[in-house]
Structure formats: C-alpha cells, structure tokens
A and B are shown apart, each in its own frame.
Chain A
C-alpha cells in the first residue's frame, strides 16, 4: 500500500518519470507537475468534457483518472496537436469557423473531434452533434463548432 508512486508516461512524445501522490488526478499531474496547462479542468467530475485528452489513442476524462492509473500510457494533450509551429487541421478548422469564443472548452473538444474523425469520413450533422454531446460549451451555441468539425473532416488528410 502506497501514498506515493513513481510513474513513467509519455506525453506528446516526451517520456516523463515523476513521483506522485496516489490521489493526484491525471489532469492535475499534467497541469501542475508537467506545466501543460492547455488541459482545462471544469467540473472535476466527468461531465463537462473540458479536460478530455487521449490515453493510448482514445479519449478519456483526465479528471476521472488518477495519475498512477496512467503509468505506462501514451498521452496526447492539446499541446501535442500542432506540429512544427503549424496548427493541426482540426485546430485550423476551429480557427476559421470561429468554433470557440472564450476557448475554455476548446482543448477538450479538439481531442474529442480528433478521435471522432480519425476513423470516419463525411459524418452527418447528426453524428457530429452526437459526438460533441460529452463536451459542454457555454459560449457558442455549438453552431460554429459543428461547422468546424465538418470543415476539419474536409481538410484533414488522414
């Protein structure tokens, strides 16, 4: 039985080893220990979707995982989407379609959309709206987010 453990995980291609309290949430670990503050923490109980990241390629709420549970995992946060100073096509589409206002929910949305579009093409508006259902935005009314996802589908070569 431990109150601290050593974890090794890969975040956006970089391997990190740290000793963490076993009750530290993964979102807190990313933000406070690794200084990756692009992952936003809203509701802290898995409802708002702001803290969504990719764990081994699949979306997860980083407020619903302890950092110790991610030991050995490969994680992608919003900081891992842009490459060589160029926005990811999903980010480009959100930019062009004004798919965000305050931006608080955007990082979680981008990773949700990343998983959604990675294995499908030409999604219907209905399926886009269903895919976004686990991410709450309080600014946009979703219209431009839906447009941004449709645009991302068109411009992301995958």
Chain B
C-alpha cells in the first residue's frame, strides 16, 4: 500500500462535501481527479487523516458562455477543456495552454479546479487564469466567496482557500473575440512541468493601440508572477511592436525573483522569463484583431 492510512468518504453533492470539510477542516484533503494529489499520497508527502472524494458530484462539470466570458465548473476535466470548441473560440489562450498540462492520460482524469486548488508554481492553469483576470468561486458552509485569481495563489501549493472551503468554479471575464493571446513555455520534455512559461492576452482598439493586456509567468517564484501591471504601464496606448514588447519583457525579467533549483539556476530562469514573456506578448499582439478590421494573419 503506497499511501499512508486515511479514511475516505464520497461526497454526493457540494453541500455534503463542504459539510464534511466543515467537520474535519485541515485534517481533510479534497480528492477531485487525483492527478496531483495521488502522487503526493503515494510518496507520503501528504498524509491526510480524511480524504473527501468530490469526483462523483454532478453539476460541477460544465463550460458555459456567460456575458461573453466563460464559467468553468471545478470538476471539468482538462481533456474536456482541450476538446471544447467553445473554449477555442472564446478563450484561445486556455485552449493553447491546456495542451501543456501533463499528458493526455493525466488530462483525461485531471480537473481544472484540481489544478488551480493544488497551486503548483510550475503549473500552467494558475498563470492562465491570472493573465485573464479570472475570478474563482469558492464555497463553504458559511457561504460563497469570489476571489480574484491574482489574490488566490499565495505560495507553493498554497491558496487563499480556507480549510473548510472548496473551489466550485472559475469565471473568466469577457475578452472580446479578436483579443490576441500567446502562450510559451520551456520544459525539458513535452508534458513535464515548465521550467518557465508565459501567458499573455492583448486587446487592441480600432487604431491598433493596446487597450487591455494581461500577462502572467510560471516557474519564476512560488506562485504565478502577475506581470499585468508592468505590461499595462509599458504598452497601453502603444502600437505593439517587437521593440516595445521586448522592453516590457525586459522589465518583467528584471522584476521576477526566481530561486535556483535542480532544474535551472535563477539567472537562467530570469533569462527565460524575459525571452518567453517577449514572445508571448508579441504573439498576442500579432494575433489580436484590430477592432473593426479583418483579421490579417489567419489565426
């Protein structure tokens, strides 16, 4: 037996899940798709006394178009997002990034909410929802809260979730169709966690100027690095080009404070942050349709 002894319950619905969490609090772990939690259980890196399986709850598996944005239920499988025409059309950044999450065998089981609540600093989805300025809806017996993605991730494997709360949905705001996006990451092997990655979204006005931009990086610290303020300062009102995207990326690279580890030294991560943020921004700029004009590059 790999995992240490625990007691297990299947929650039939959200109310039962949060009832059990209210009872057991931080002695309990929530099991969704299990693709991050089970390896840690196998290594006995986590030894919860209670495991609450939310994987059979109905009604948390959906992708809905709401006010031009997307609401995605926490138990939606990553593979379902990858195959969704709606996601490709409304949120191409998410469609592009999710292919980098593990392998198909893990995306078949892994859930969107599980990846976000696990909050691995090298995981793609936390950065994507940060760049998109998404909201995370969480629930406990005390009621619901809605948290901004940039406030949700608090450190390595640490979120703003309280011990009695579960994540029920991620709500991605409307980025008009024609918003450009780019996702770039560097990993040693396909499907591995990224050493560094960058996600960017950009909306351009009728004159081609940047109207709104969101950028977040992974692998540069203990949580996604929200480079939106830097990118906003540098690019809003500008016609984006190689020079100003690169200048923004250099400021981003200078601002991240990665640690060295066995995968890469800190200097190299800073270098990757600069290069990949620049590429993601330029890619977003090129893919963005200038409002009122035909899209030029066939994307």
A-side residues, CB < 8 A to B, are 1-3, 5, 21-25, 28, 44-46, 49, 52, 55, 58-61, 63-66, 68-69, 112, 115, 130-131, 133-134
User: How many Å lie between the Cα of A64 and that of B114 in the bound state?
Assistant: 14
Q: Which of B3, B41, B53, B190 contacts A69 (CB 8 A)?
A: B53
Given A63-B42, A134-B191, A3:B7 Cβ within 8 A: yes
**Is B265 an interface residue, CB under 8 A from the partner?**
no
- Classify the secondary structure of A's interface with B: mixed
A-B contact pairs, 22 of them (CB 8 A): A2-B9, A22-B6, A23-B4, A23-B8, A28-B2, A44-B42, A45-B39, A49-B105, A59-B104, A60-B109, A63-B2, A64-B38, A66-B31, A68-B53, A112-B104, A130-B190, A131-B104, A133-B189, A133-B191, A134-B104, A134-B105, A134-B106
CB distance from B18 to the nearest CB of A (A): 16
Question: Nearest B residue to A4 by beta-carbon distance?
Answer: B8
CB distance from B13 to the nearest CB of A (A): 17
Would A49 and B103 count as touching, CB distance under 8 A? yes
User: How many Å lie between the Cα of A52 and that of B105 in the bound state?
Assistant: 8
Contacts of B2 in A (CB 8 A): 23, 25, 28, 44, 63
Contacts of B105 in A (CB 8 A): 49, 52, 59-61, 112, 134
CB distance from B44 to the nearest CB of A (A): 11
Question: Nearest A residue to B45 by beta-carbon distance?
Answer: A45
**Is B159 an interface residue, CB under 8 A from the partner?**
no
Given A45-B42, A60-B108, A66-B34, A133:B55 Cβ within 8 A: no
